[in-house]
Amino acid sequence: MSLITNELVKSSMVITLNRPEKRNALSPEMITELTVTVRKAIDDQAVKSIIITGSEKAFCAGADLDYLNNLRKYKAADNERDSKMLAELFLTIYNSPKPTISAVNGPAIAGGCGLAIVCDFAVAHTQLATFGFTEVRIGFLPAIVSVFLVKRIGEYQARKLLITGEIIHAANAHAIHLVDELSETPLRRAVEIGFLLASNSCESIKSTKDLIRVCGNLSADEAIPYLSRMNAVARFSKDFKSGLEKFLNKKEK
């Protein structure tokens, strides 16, 4: 049985973590397969957005227990390689030129929570979704996810979640902007968002995501020259010329 399933729904590639008997826990094999699947979706011109969800009752329960048990045997080089594997997955999703959406259908814990919040949009089940970074409970460090968490909710909210290891419900997660929307049918809502985004320019979405990533590390004085260049370059794009012509023709009718 494949650890990952994928299906094109309208214009969205729905990628489902498929280990329900393990609450869709992450293993090295699943991380590798998920990274490959996301990259294939990025390269597929038929795919306009990427949705990640979990099978059955969980989104992702974090690291697999067998995998955690094996960590005790790892040497320094093994741990370094293993950490880079998870970082590569998160960066692949975060840097995706296409919109990414998590449909959180149940618990999203530790690395699973990181997987949910690294996406551009996070839609959580109103009743069933829970979130938590529980690494501190076993003396571990939520290192890789921390940079994405701080970007999403800010330093002080991130500090509270990471230091306490508290598990919070969907309403609380929404209140601190850990997730963007609540829904009784998160996957259906994620597909709706993907469908709405499909009408936008793919090139414009990619460039907008690029400039947001760059601006996040710059002061306003540093950002404006860069953004001015981006603005000027965008005016020569095929998508802009076509979109502007359609807009003006519509206004003239």
Identify the weakest region by mean pLDDT among 93-97, 107-111, 191-195, 231-235: 231-235
Residue 27 or 68, more confident: 27
Cα 67 to Cα 112: distance, rounded to the nearest angstrom:
14
Contact present, 123 and 191 (Cβ < 8 Å): no
Percent pLDDT > 70 in the chain is 98
Residue type, 54: G
Report residue 205's pLDDT band, with 50, 70 and 90 as the boundaries: very high
Degrees to nearest 5, angle at CA 245 with 244 and 251: 90
Contact 101, 117 (CB under 8 A): no
pLDDT tens-place string over residues 108-143: 999 999 999 999 999 999 999 999 999 999 888 888
pLDDT at 160: 96
Smallest CA-to-CA distance from 121 within 194, 56, 37 is with: 194
218 or 84: which leads in pLDDT: 84
For the segment 79-97, what is each residue's pLDDT rounded down to a tens digit? 788 889 999 999 999 999 9
Pick from 12-16, 71-75, 95-99, 196-200: least confident? 71-75
**Structure confidence at residue 143 (pLDDT):** 86
Q: What is the model's pLDDT at position 33?
A: 97
Q: Which helix (H) or strand (E) holds 49?
A: strand 49-54
Tell which phi-psi region holds residue 177, choosing left (phi > 0), alpha (psi between -120 and 50) or beta.
left
4-197 is classed in which CATH architecture?
Alpha-Beta Complex (3.90)
What is the domain partition of the chain in residue ranges? Answer: 4-197, 202-252
pTM: 0.91
The candidate with the shortest Cα–Cα distance to 133, out of 122, 156, 155, 149, is 149
Residue 251 reports pLDDT greater than 70: no
Q: Please, which residues have CB within 8 angstroms of residue 50's CB and are 6 or more apart in sequence? A: 12, 13, 15, 38, 41, 42, 93, 96, 98, 99, 100, 101
Quick check: 151 pLDDT over 90?
A: yes
**Catalytic residue at 135?**
yes
The residue type found at 206 is K
The string of DSSP codes covering 107-118 is: EEETHHHHHHHT
Check 88, 135, 155, 222 and give the catalytic one: 135
Token output for 190: 């994620």
Burial class (CB in 10 A: 0-12, 13-18, 19+), 72: exposed
Q: Put the strands of the sheet holding 130-132 in their side by side order.
A: 107-109, 130-132, 167-169
**Does the pLDDT value for residue 162 go beyond 80?**
yes
CA-to-CA distance for 241 and 236, rounded, in angstroms?
A: 7
